[in-house]
Chains A and B, each alone.
Chain A
Amino acid sequence: MSDSRKEFVKGLITTNPVFVLLLGLCPALAVSTSIDNALGMTLATFIVLLGANIIIAAIRGFVPSITRIPIFIVIIATLVTVVNLLFNAFLPDLHRTLGIYLPLVVVNCMILGRAEAFASKNPMIRSIADALGMTVGFMIALVMISFVRQLLGTGEMSVFGFSIFTLPVLSEHPLAMFILPPGGFLVLGLLLALLRWRGVLKI
């Protein structure tokens, strides 16, 4: 059990997919304009990553190593199709806001990366722990980025329609740049520098 816990914890900080491995940056930046979107993308990534790690860990014994990458890609693409249809049916608003970034989960390097680097070599329980840890790490990164962007870009903090607090001046004159694409680069760059400076991340 402690073995699985180790695989889970490492995804949070030491091999955080976004901050350390710099994988899955496209969805991390594209959807991090609000916390709602960030959580929606985390949910989609979670379903695909967990499913892919379980299936790939289960079949790792008899997949010929020479054709493993196409097989992994087909498994991931199938899961993404399922998630895409499910979101379209049950969460249509989220499906619309995520737009092309939902089908693009299939080329999220994080998912193929974990399949190749971890699930294809490890038993199922540890692969599940790895998927959970990576998802939580991905969520931490996305929520941190989108918290800053939503706060500065709109001046108010609301999650799933509930307004939590409003900033006095910024809500009337929001810094729209943070919602716009360059703001994503800025916030991620400064967050990375801050985490390295405080020693949370090793350089």
Chain B
Amino acid sequence: MSELIVIFLSMALINNIILVRYLGLCPFLGVSRELKPSFSMGMAVTFVMLVASLATWVINHYVLIRFNIEYMYIIVFILVIASLVQVIELFIKKTNFALYSAFGIYLPLITTNCAVLGVTIINMMENYTLLASLVSALGSGLGFTLVMAVMAGIREKLDLADAPKSMRGAPVALITATLLGLAFFGFSGIV
């Protein structure tokens, strides 16, 4: 049990997927301008990460390892994630339209989000059990949501600030990310 808590905290805070592993930077810089869409995006990513970790774990253990074709994992994982995103999108559209409109256009964008593929590859390389993979996906997803939401809150204020012209937009967002990353170093003592 304590091992699972360590995995969760490590993925969510200490090795935060955005600030430490640099994954999912496109949505981090592109979407995190307002709080609400950032939160929806974070939830969508968390959901896809959980389903993708489940699917890739099963496929890795019962297909790739069994037939000795582990080297195919890049092609298989990316195809699994791409088709999963399509299926999830169709399913949510049919069953829960409110959720579908909350996720909006972010669901299809997740296919090329390196954070999702990154988590499944980390799970595979660390040889996590199924439960540990799911916990690591949940931790990564919530860590992603947390940083997206914090960043959006800061950027809503930052847009009003009178920054030098050459600093506006991406540079100031990157420097904000630096400060957030330094703050997140404080978590490295908790495990």
| Chain A contacts to B: CB under 8 angstroms | 22-23, 25-26, 29-30, 70, 73-74, 77-78, 80-81, 84-85, 100, 103-104, 106-109, 112, 177, 180-186, 188-190, 192-194, 196-197, 203
- The interface of chain B, by Cβ under 8 A from chain A, is 19-26, 29, 71-75, 78-79, 82, 112-114, 117-118, 121-122, 125, 164-175, 177-179, 181-182, 185
> A188: nearest residue on chain B (CB-CB)?
B174
Chain B residues near A81: list those with CB within 8 A.
71-72, 74-75
In whole angstroms, what is the CA distance A177 to B23 when docked?
Answer: 19
Taking a contact as CB atoms under 8 Å apart, the answer to whether B121 and A107 are in contact is no
Q: Contacting A25 at CB < 8 Å: which of B26, B72, B118, B121?
A: B26
Other-chain residue from B71, B82, B182 in contact with A182 (beta carbon distance below 8 A):
B182
Main secondary structure of the interface of B (DSSP, over half): helix
Instruction: Give the secondary structure class of A's interface.
Output: helix
Find out whether the CB atom of B22 lies under 8 angstroms from the CB atom of A106: no
Residue among B20, B114, B166 with most chain A CB within 10 A: B114
Task: Find chain B residues with CB under 8 A from A189 CB.
Answer: 170-175, 177-178
Residues of the A chain whose Cβ atoms lie less than 8 Å from the Cβ of B125? 100
Q: A104-B121, A189-B171 are in contact. Are A184 and B79 (CB under 8 A)?
A: no
In the bound assembly, the distance between CA atoms of A162 and B131 in angstroms comes to 46
**What residues on B are CB-neighbors of A203 within 8 Å?**
165-166, 168-169
CA distance A108 to B118 in the complex (A): 12
Closest B residue, CB atoms, query A31: B22
Cβ of A156 to closest chain B Cβ, rounded Å: 23
- Is there an interface contact between A193 and B171, defined as CB atoms closer than 8 Å? yes
> Would A30 and B121 be within 8 Å (CB), given that A70-B82, A185-B181 are in contact?
no
Q: Are B79 and A25 touching (Cβ within 8 A)?
A: no
Measured CA separation A70–B83 after assembly (Å): 9
Distance between Cα atoms of A177 and B167 in the complex (Å): 22
The answer to whether B167 and A193 have CB atoms under 8 Å apart is yes
Contact assessment for A25 and B112 in the assembled complex, using a CB-CB cutoff below 8 Å: no
A181 x B19 contact (CB < 8 A): yes
Residue of B nearest to A184 (CB): B22
Which of A70, A103, A186, A196 is in CB contact (< 8 Å) with B121? A103
